[in-house]
Amino acid sequence: MCTIYNVGEDLVFPIYDETSSSISATYVEDFQELTEGTGKFTTVKLQNYIVGCLAKVSKSLMNRTDFDLVSYVVNKVAQAISDFLEKELITGTTKIKGLASNKNTVTTATAAKLSTDDIIDLMMSVPEVYQGNACFIMHKDTLKALRKLKNADGDYILQKDATQGFGWTLFGKKVHTTESMQQVATGNKAIHYGDMSGLYVKLAQNVELQMLTEKYATQHAVGACAYIECDAAIVETQKIVTLVVK
């Protein structure tokens, strides 16, 4: 759902600060001077951070089994890279700045508790133009808490959507769950909502896998090594809002 750029060099994106803008249109008469408005731009820079993973496999173990152990280990290394990227895109705040770095937030009305009003406040914080592709991202335990919420008529507000492969929707928007998200607890960023294309990802290369046959030859083993160069940050800040638990 992110916006992905497959480029090697650094990327610098200008961001217009809507809060500092005094640029607006108004009615004017003939020969009337316009009053100038001013705006402020900041920048977000995406660089190349190297992510790597290495696994070692015993040749003796490979020789004692008919199972394709090398392919299994290669897949596990690739999965480790994938899991790392998903976690960083959600929780990263140091090098890769994921959704957890979002400064566009809404705080719950009650400490350590979610309510339907909080969800409505969260959704309405995203401009209407970006609502079409908006979705929720949360921990499965947060989803469990939301599933227990009911409206004034006693009906559960969260319903299964048969058109989405029996996935979950909340107020008509798709819900994605991941263990990388924080749970409902004081101070936690429990739910991200919006159009996730506002999160830009730069991939200098796809995952590069190599088999190391000589490095571990004296250990009677082979290695599987994987690298990827990437970076990410929220560039279109108005597209994504985060719910912070009071």
Return the exposure string of 27-48: e unless at least 16 CB atoms fall within 10 Å of the residue's CB, then b.
Answer: eeeeeeeeeeeeeeeeebebbb
Contact 239, 131 (CB under 8 A): no
Contact 54, 237 (CB under 8 A): no
Contact 222, 59 (CB under 8 A): yes
Q: Report the share of the chain in percent with pLDDT over 70.
A: 95
> Given pLDDT bands bounded at 50, 70 and 90, which one contains residue 6?
very high
Q: What is the mean pLDDT of residues 160-188?
A: 81
DSSP 102: -
Please determine, for residue 166, whether its predicted confidence score (pLDDT) is greater than 60. no
Is 51 or 158 the better-scoring residue by pLDDT? 51
Highest mean pLDDT among 52-66, 149-163, 216-230: 216-230
pLDDT of residue 54: 93
pLDDT of residue 59: 87
Is 78 or 134 the better-scoring residue by pLDDT? 134
pLDDT of residue 246: 93
| Predicted confidence (pLDDT) per residue in 83-109, tens digit | 999 999 999 999 999 999 999 999 999
pLDDT of residue 142: 93
Average pLDDT, the chain: 89
pLDDT of residue 186: 85
Q: Quick count: other Cβ atoms within 10 Å of Cβ 76? A: 13
Torsional sign, CA 158, 105, 200, 79: negative
> Given pLDDT bands bounded at 50, 70 and 90, which one contains residue 21?
low
pLDDT of residue 68: 84
Rounded to two decimals, the pTM is 0.85
| Predicted confidence (pLDDT) per residue in 106-120, tens digit | 999 999 988 889 999
pLDDT of residue 206: 81
Distance CA 78, CA 226 (A): 7
